[in-house]
């Protein structure tokens, strides 16, 4: 894992920056470079990119540090708006007594920070930041609740109290002892775009994204959509030789490998099929717990880890995936399902208001059953997406009082995560629901769930993650795309047309990647069930969730609806694995338990 860390202060640092950088060395033990001046110090692991001249100290990925230095001297904090591509950097100016931290437009590389008095601490890993003695190791109860509600930790909040994470397109400017978060970039949507050939624009944008990526060193995960096949074709064209492609199937699951193999044969790639089962899940859990900075709440990380290890075995240094395509083009599985009820609004208003609604709303109260359920669906369709997300949330089913310990609920605001969703939805710089969905996904799901799972899987396997769909050219293309092309069958038609244009005769018929059959495996495999039971039993001792709820989840809820409740079991299991890792690594030893009363870390 490559990363950076450091501090900026008028007070002397309490810890050599090299000690903070220890978690950044990764499993391959990357070399660490350090530099310091009178007001701060930085360390960078795994990649070059340190600039130290005339009192200006910069550690960065992506952008050339000399370019950053020139922009900073001429534009100050506004320099971030002139940057492009994937980057993260820390800039410490001794002469101005200012500091600037920034991440790219999708926060493809995270950057954490914390103010401790007049000292600014920063690191690309929360674990590295927590190693500074001033950072503290208290656990934030609200972050735990947000993680369980949103199935992710999108930021700015993190599991360690006081730590914060920069959001996509955001920077932090420290000046005069005052830290200010600034949003230097936002998506600017075109609501009435009419492009007769959007597939050509998509292919051009992707071609810019993969330019210079060598095919022999990059493998591509065919992750169940035409987006990944198109990416493989463009990478192969850019490299001038066959690219390595990998597809992952599941024991006892639907046969999805045949479609991937057929597409690979059309492309002429070096293709490899992998089939994983319960044993691979058991192997993946400790690896993901060690590699991810926060609890890995996405079970798809098991699939990503298998693909990353296969890529490493084939000699690839990077694994490219279609991460971001679902979020940018409106084909994410969860939001697509929630958007379907909204199609009711497309019916003529007179038909809805004069015929359907009077009939249903009058009869449904007197005739229970089908009519009542249909009325509920219509009421749901009339609500905006944040309201649908609230009703569909897993925490809404049993009630918070039946799930959480009373002492824990006293420490959190149960409305906070839903309020965050609503604020992002209504504050989006868009008018159409389709573009508001894109903004919501870019700010919540992508940085909080998708990218951490991919990065953690790649780190555990020893390869670098590559996400061409998050390139600036693709972001701009998505912003120009008409909203109608991001709803219903629009995304599928867009990628199918792009694939036909790129590789005639190459087709992909699956709308989305198959889900890991975690629920079925949890019921049938004794070792997986034992791991889940042990993890949830240990979690119950921490006085966050009620023991009777955890018992009910495993004994009744999981057999009733394996696909839905297996995800909850995975979330809780990985949360306990994260807690156990903190204790094992000594990270919990300094935690003040009186600051987080319900948590029992030992």
Segment 278-306, tens digit of pLDDT: 999 999 999 999 999 899 999 999 999 99
pLDDT per residue as tens digits for the range 154-190: 889 999 998 999 999 999 999 988 999 999 999 999 8
For the chain, the average pLDDT equals 85
Cβ burial 146-159 (10 Å sphere, 16+ → b, else e): bbbbbbbbbbebbb
For residue 46, what pLDDT is reported? 74
- Percentages of the chain per state (helix, strand, coil), in multiples of 5: 50, 15, 35
For residue 554, what pLDDT is reported? 92
pLDDT per residue as tens digits for the range 120-160: 999 998 888 988 888 878 899 999 999 999 988 888 999 99
208 domain residue, yes or no: yes
Residue 250 sits in the same domain as residue 135: no
575 domain residue, yes or no: yes
- Joined together, the tokens standing for residue 131 give 């190693």
Residue 168 sits in the same domain as residue 305: no
227 domain residue, yes or no: yes
303 domain residue, yes or no: yes
Residue 151 sits in the same domain as residue 213: no
Average pLDDT over residues 335-359: 62
Instruction: Collect all residues with Cβ–Cβ distance below 8 Å to 525 and sequence separation of at least 6.
Output: 278
Q: Please give the Cα distance from 558 to 186 (Å, whole number).
A: 41
Determine what percent of the chain is predicted with pLDDT higher than 90: 54
366 domain residue, yes or no: yes
For residue 510, what pLDDT is reported? 54
Q: Please give the Cα distance from 157 to 572 (Å, whole number).
A: 19
Residue 138 sits in the same domain as residue 261: no
Residue 540 sits in the same domain as residue 470: no
420 domain residue, yes or no: no
- Joined together, the tokens standing for residue 277 give 């089962």
Last residue of a domain, one of 508, 528, 551: 508
Residue 92 sits in the same domain as residue 108: yes
Last residue of a domain, one of 458, 480, 508: 508
- The whole-model pTM stands at 0.89
Closest CA to 126 of 157, 100, 103, 104: 157
Helix orientation angle between 278-291 and 451-461, rounded to the nearest 10 degrees: 100
Residue 252 sits in the same domain as residue 362: yes
549 phi, psi to nearest 5 deg: -65, -45
Residue 263 sits in the same domain as residue 359: yes
Residue 440 sits in the same domain as residue 579: no
Average pLDDT over residues 372-391: 71
Any idea what the CATH number is for the domain that residue 44 is in? 3.60.20.10
pLDDT per residue as tens digits for the range 533-569: 999 999 999 999 999 999 999 999 999 988 889 999 9
**Whole-Å CA distances, 289 to 301, 318, 461, 476, 531:** 11, 21, 13, 35, 14
**Residue 215 · residue 238 · CB < 8 Å:** yes
Number of separate domains in the chain: 3
Closest CA to 339 of 275, 243, 425, 239: 425
For residue 167, what pLDDT is reported? 94
Determine what percent of the chain is predicted with pLDDT higher than 70: 83
**Residue 225 · residue 199 · CB < 8 Å:** no
Residue 163 sits in the same domain as residue 215: no
Place of tokens 């569909």: 392
Any idea what the CATH number is for the domain that residue 494 is in? 3.40.50.620
598 domain residue, yes or no: no
130 domain residue, yes or no: yes
Last residue of a domain, one of 156, 183, 210: 183
Place of tokens 């005769």: 505
For residue 346, what pLDDT is reported? 63
Q: Which domain holds residue 462?
A: 188-400+431-508
Q: Compute the radius of gyration of the chain from its Cα atoms.
A: 24
Omega before 368 within 30 of 0, i.e. cis:
no
Residue 315 sits in the same domain as residue 231: yes
- Joined together, the tokens standing for residue 320 give 């490219």
Residue 119 sits in the same domain as residue 144: yes
């Amino acid at each position: 894992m490559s990363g950076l860390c450091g501090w900026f202060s008028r007070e002397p640092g309490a810890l050599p920056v090299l000690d903070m950088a220890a978690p950044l060395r990764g499993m391959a033990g990357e070399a660490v470079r350090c530099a310091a001046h009178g007001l701060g110090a930085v360390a960078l692991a795994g990649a070059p990119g340190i600039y130290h001249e005339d009192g200006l100290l910069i550690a960065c990925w992506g952008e050339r540090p000399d370019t950053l230095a020139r922009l900073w001297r001429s534009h100050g904090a506004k320099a971030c708006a002139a940057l492009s591509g994937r980057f993260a950097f820390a800039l410490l100016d001794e002469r101005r007594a200012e500091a600037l931290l920034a991440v790219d437009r999708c926060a493809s590389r995270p950057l954490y920070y914390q103010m401790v008095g007049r000292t600014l601490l920063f690191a690309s890993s929360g674990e590295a930041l927590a190693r500074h003695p001033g950072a503290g190791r208290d656990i934030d109860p609200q972050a735990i609740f947000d993680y369980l509600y949103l199935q992710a930790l999108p930021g700015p909040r993190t599991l360690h109290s006081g730590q914060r994470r920069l959001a996509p397109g955001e920077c932090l400017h420290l000046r005069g002892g005052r830290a200010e978060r600034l949003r230097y970039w936002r998506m600017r949507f075109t609501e009435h775009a009419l492009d007769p050939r959007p597939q050509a624009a998509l292919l051009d944008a992707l071609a810019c994204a993969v330019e210079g990526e060598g095919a022999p060193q990059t493998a591509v995960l065919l992750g169940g959509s035409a987006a990944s096949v198109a990416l493989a074709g463009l990478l192969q064209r850019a490299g001038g030789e066959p690219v390595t492609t990998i597809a992952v199937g599941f024991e006892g699951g639907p046969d999805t490998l045949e479609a991937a193999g057929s597409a690979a044969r059309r492309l002429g790639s070096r293709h490899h099929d992998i089939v994983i089962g319960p044993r691979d899940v058991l192997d993946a859990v400790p690896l993901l717990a060690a590699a991810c900075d926060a609890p890995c709440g996405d079970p798809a990380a098991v699939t990503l880890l298998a693909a990353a290890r296969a890529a490493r075995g084939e000699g690839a240094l990077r694994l490219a995936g279609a991460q971001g395509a679902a979020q940018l083009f409106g084909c994410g599985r969860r939001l697509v399902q929630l958007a379907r009820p909204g199609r009711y609004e497309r019916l003529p208003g007179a038909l809805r208001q004069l015929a359907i609604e009077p009939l249903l709303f009058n009869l449904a109260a007197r005739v229970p059953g089908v009519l009542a359920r249909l009325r509920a669906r219509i009421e749901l369709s009339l609500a905006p997406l944040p309201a649908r997300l609230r009703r569909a949330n897993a925490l809404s089913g049993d009630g918070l009082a039946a799930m959480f310990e009373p002492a824990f609920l006293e420490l959190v605001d149960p409305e906070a995560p839903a309020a965050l969703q609503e604020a992002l939805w209504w504050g989006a710089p868009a008018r159409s629901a389709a573009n508001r969905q894109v903004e919501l996904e870019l700010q919540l799901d992508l940085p909080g769930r998708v990218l951490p799972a991919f990065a953690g899987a790649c780190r555990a396997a020893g390869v670098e993650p590559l996400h061409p769909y998050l390139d600036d050219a693709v972001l701009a293309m998505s912003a120009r795309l008409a909203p109608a092309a991001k709803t219903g069958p629009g995304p599928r038609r867009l990628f199918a047309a792009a694939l036909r244009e790129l590789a005639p005769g190459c087709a992909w018929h699956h709308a989305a990647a198959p889900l890991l059959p975690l629920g079925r495996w949890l019921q049938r495999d004794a070792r997986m069930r034992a791991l889940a039971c042990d993890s949830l039993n240990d979690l119950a001792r921490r006085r966050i969730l009620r023991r009777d709820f955890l018992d009910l989840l495993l004994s009744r809820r999981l057999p009733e609806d394996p696909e839905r409740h297996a995800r909850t079991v995975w979330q809780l299991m990985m949360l306990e694995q994260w807690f156990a890792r903190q204790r094992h690594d000594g990270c919990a030893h300094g935690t003040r338990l009186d600051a987080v009363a319900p948590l029992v870390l030992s």
